[in-house]
Structures are given as structure tokens and as C-alpha cells.
């Protein structure tokens, strides 16, 4: 115990921060994003000329460098601005990680982060104070401490707001921020960088917001396996010399490519493999460490998603996974419903309608477990849904099977039923 607390522990890492996907890295460590970096640099260049940078909209799949690149550019501009005596900074908030996705909480979070950058106390309580008062204090801090400020609004589509609202909370936030200078709340040059996986989020903007918010769009595409290899090679010095077995980076990149070219997941996976090696007392990270890390990551991700589901939702998803496993990852909803009914009968559970079961399964889609599409023909049922799993089906089944209420399911017998239903 004392040796651990004193830091006398063998490790494969030289600089572990380099395989922390949240670390802001220099531009020379960023690969395959020259065009996007150049576009962001051109926009931020206005700051150094005393002008307001244009609003930016960065869109594309998860883990494709959107937040990474804009933080790297903003960091470099901050250095240049300090040399010129310009008080410039950026405030980044990821709305997906907030415990509440309301406008009021978003404004409070922006104020809290802005106060931290300004080096002042954010003296506004989370509750008991109106949203307008939170805005007022936020603008006071902005005006008093910055010549130029950029809000990086990450995963903004998660800011949905209250159910039944006329417009999503992110629409109202963007409306306020896009008009803050014209309405003379601040003299600071204030602009926004919106980061989203869903470029169509603008379709839900209120007409007033759509009129006043006009960003420059920058698209980010998936990384392929070769690009992921280059990205990981630029993080190799996170490890001690010769601490990575031949082929480790390639297998990590292959797993990353399977996850839609997500570089963030690939970097995290490389770090996790190193941590497994450390726990085992090994001095070299091997391909087996990577496989173990990937299995653990997949299981934990699925467990996090399905852990809080009701038993009916778990039965619905279990039925879909059973079908998908025998049908190359795709599960036609009529077959899924047949299996679901058998599961319910065997568990003495109430049988819900097919519409409800489809809805339960689609809920899993909001967490990235699967996708659904409506198709026509086949299975003698006309138009129906087909669920396609984006997470490994085996991991989904294994995780669901850990629920004691599902442990008595005769999976082998059901597989034969699934095969017959798929042939019919």
C-alpha cells in the first residue's frame, strides 16, 4: 500500500495525458483535419484584428475531431492574443454531461465556466434565481474581463429543454447569444462555436433564431483505419519507449474503425489497454491487452445503457438481439414481436402491443445501441421496422442476461424458434 501511495509503481506510460481524449493537444498531433483547422484559423484570425469572429457550426459523427481541432486553434489564438495585449479566451461546455438539459441550467453552467476563466467567483445559485438574472451576471463578467470571447457549445442538441416546449432550449440559447451584442448587453466581441453530431438540428430552430443565427458550417467526416493509425502514432510517446508491442496501434485503429471511425474511442481504448497492462504488472502493452480493454469497454457501455431499463424494455431488446444474432445484425420487427411474446409467456409477464415493443426498442436507439429503418415487403407483413445493432449483439445479450429476471430464458431453444420465424 505504501509503495502505491508513494508512486513507486511500474508503469507503461511516459505521459498519460496524451492518451486522455479531453487533453488539448498541439496542432502537429492532429492528423487528417488540415482543411478544418485552416477554416477555423481563418475565422479566429478576426480576433487578432480586433473584430468579431464569425459563428461556426462544426458537424459530423462522434470522435471526428470537432472539439479537438477548435480547442487547439482557440488555444493558439489565445497565445497570440496575449502577445498583442488582447484579452481573449474560450469557454467550452458539453451539454450532454449536464444533469439537467434545461435553458436555465445551461445559462448557469455557462456563467460558472466563464467566471472560472475570468478568475472570479460565480456567486449565482443554481436555483431560486431567474434565468434572466443568470444571463445578466454572465454578461457582466464577459464585459468586465474579456475583449473577445468564444463560447464552444458542445453536443448542443442534448439541450432539449422541457417536454412540450414550443422550441428546444438550444434554440432559445442561440437566439440570446446571437443578439447579445446588437442588444448592447456587452461590448465584448462575442461569438459561438456549435458542435453537433446532427447537422439537421437547425431544422428545429425557431424562425427568429434561424434568422439571427447564421454560422459558417464546417463538416467533419469519419476517420478510416489508416487515418486512425496516423492519429494514434502521434500519441505513441504517451508510452515509454518499446512499451507498445508491434501491431497494438493497428488493432486499436481497427476497433476504432468498427465504431464509425471514432478517434476519441480509439485513444481511450489505447489508454485502457495500457492501464490493464499496468494492473497485470506487465512492461509491454500487447494485443491481448487491447482485446481485453475492448471487451470491457463494450460491456460497460452496454451495461450503462441497459442497466436502468424496465423489465419490459429489457425483454423487448433481448428479443431484438436474439433475432439480430441469427440474421447478421438485423432484426425485422414482426419476428422480434413473435419472440417477445414467447418471452413474456415464459416469464408470466403482460404482453404489450407491437407498437409499444417497437417504441421500447427504439429507446435503445437513442443511446446508440441500434438503429431502425422502415422497409416494405417480406415476412408477409408489408411495411415494418428493421432494427440494426450498432453495438455487438453478443455483448447486449450477455449484459441483459445478467438481470436475474432474464436468467431463466431458454436461449438455445429460442434460437431454433428464431431461425424458423426468419425462414417463414
Which residues contribute to the annotated binding site?
64-68, 223, 235
- DSSP state letter for 211: H
* Binding-site residue positions for ATP: 64-68, 223, 235
Q: Report the C-alpha gap between 126 and 134 in whole angstroms.
A: 9
Instruction: Show Cβ contacts of residue 195 under 8 Å, excluding neighbours closer than 6 positions.
Output: 58, 59, 66, 67, 70, 152, 153, 154, 155, 156
Q: Report the C-alpha gap between 68 and 264 in whole angstroms.
A: 9
312 to 302, 306, 351, 360, 405: CA distances (angstroms): 17, 12, 9, 8, 11
Strand, coil or helix: 58: strand
Residue 190 β-bridge partners: 149
DSSP 133-182: HHHHHHHHHHHHH-SEEEEEEETGGG---STT-SS-HHHHHHHHHHTTTT
What b/e sequence results for 320-349 when a residue is b if at least 16 CB atoms lie within 10 Å of its CB, and e otherwise? bbbbbbbbebbbbbbbbbbbbbbbbeeeee
Phi/psi for 288 (5° steps) reads -65, -35
Distance from the Cα of residue 314 to its chain's centroid: 23
3-state helix, strand, coil in the chain (%, to 5): 55, 10, 35
Amino acid at each position: 500500500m505504501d509503495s502505491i501511495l508513494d508512486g513507486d509503481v511500474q508503469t507503461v506510460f511516459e505521459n498519460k495525458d496524451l492518451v486522455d481524449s479531453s487533453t488539448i493537444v498541439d496542432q502537429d498531433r492532429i492528423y487528417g483535419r488540415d482543411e478544418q483547422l485552416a477554416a477555423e484559423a481563418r475565422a479566429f484570425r478576426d480576433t487578432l484584428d480586433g473584430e468579431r469572429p464569425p459563428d461556426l457550426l462544426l458537424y459530423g459523427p462522434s470522435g471526428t475531431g470537432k472539439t479537438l481541432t477548435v480547442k487547439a486553434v482557440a488555444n493558439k489564438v489565445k497565445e497570440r492574443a496575449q502577445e498583442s495585449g488582447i484579452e481573449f479566451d474560450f469557454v467550452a461546455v458539453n451539454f450532454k454531461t449536464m444533469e439537467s438539459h434545461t435553458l436555465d441550467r445551461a445559462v448557469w453552467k455557462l456563467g460558472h465556466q466563464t467566471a472560472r476563466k475570468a478568475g472570479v467567483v460565480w456567486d449565482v445559485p443554481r436555483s431560486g434565481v431567474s434565468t434572466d438574472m443568470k444571463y445578466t451576471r454572465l454578461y457582466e463578467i464577459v464585459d468586465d474581463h474579456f475583449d473577445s470571447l468564444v463560447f464552444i457549445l458542445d453536443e448542443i442538441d442534448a439541450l432539449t429543454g422541457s417536454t412540450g416546449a414550443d422550441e428546444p432550449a438550444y434554440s432559445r440559447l442561440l437566439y440570446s447569444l446571437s443578439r447579445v451584442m446588437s442588444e448592447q448587453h456587452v461590448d465584448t466581441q462575442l461569438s459561438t462555436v456549435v458542435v453537433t453530431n446532427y447537422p439537421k438540428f437547425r431544422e428545429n430552430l425557431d424562425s427568429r433564431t434561424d434568422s439571427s443565427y447564421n454560422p459558417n458550417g464546417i463538416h467533419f467526416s469519419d476517420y478510416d483505419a489508416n487515418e486512425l493509425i496516423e492519429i494514434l502514432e502521434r500519441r505513441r510517446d504517451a508510452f515509454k519507449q518499446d512499451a507498445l508491442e508491434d501491431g497494438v496501434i493497428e488493432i486499436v485503429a481497427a476497433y476504432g474503425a468498427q465504431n464509425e471511425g471514432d478517434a476519441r474511442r480509439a485513444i481511450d481504448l489505447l489508454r485502457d489497454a495500457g492501464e490493464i497492462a499496468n494492473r497485470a504488472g506487465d512492461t509491454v502493452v500487447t494485443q491481448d491487452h487491447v482485446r481485453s480493454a475492448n471487451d470491457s469497454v463494450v460491456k460497460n457501455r452496454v451495461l450503462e445503457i441497459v442497466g436502468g431499463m424496465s423489465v419490459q424494455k429489457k425483454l423487448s431488446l433481448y428479443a431484438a438481439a436474439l433475432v439480430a444474432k441469427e440474421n447478421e445484425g438485423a432484426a425485422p420487427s414482426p419476428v422480434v414481436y413473435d419472440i417477445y411474446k414467447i418471452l413474456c409467456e415464459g416469464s408470466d409477464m403482460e404482453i404489450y402491443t407491437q407498437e409499444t415493443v417497437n417504441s421500447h426498442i427504439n429507446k435503445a436507439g437513442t443511446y446508440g445501441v441500434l438503429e431502425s429503418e422502415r422497409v416494405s415487403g417480406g415476412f408477409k407483413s408489408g411495411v415494418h421496422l428493421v432494427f440494426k445493432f450498432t453495438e455487438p449483439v453478443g455483448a447486449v445479450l450477455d449484459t441483459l442476461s445478467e438481470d436475474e429476471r432474464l436468467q431463466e430464458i431458454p436461449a438455445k431453444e429460442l434460437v431454433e424458434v428464431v431461425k424458423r420465424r426468419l425462414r417463414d
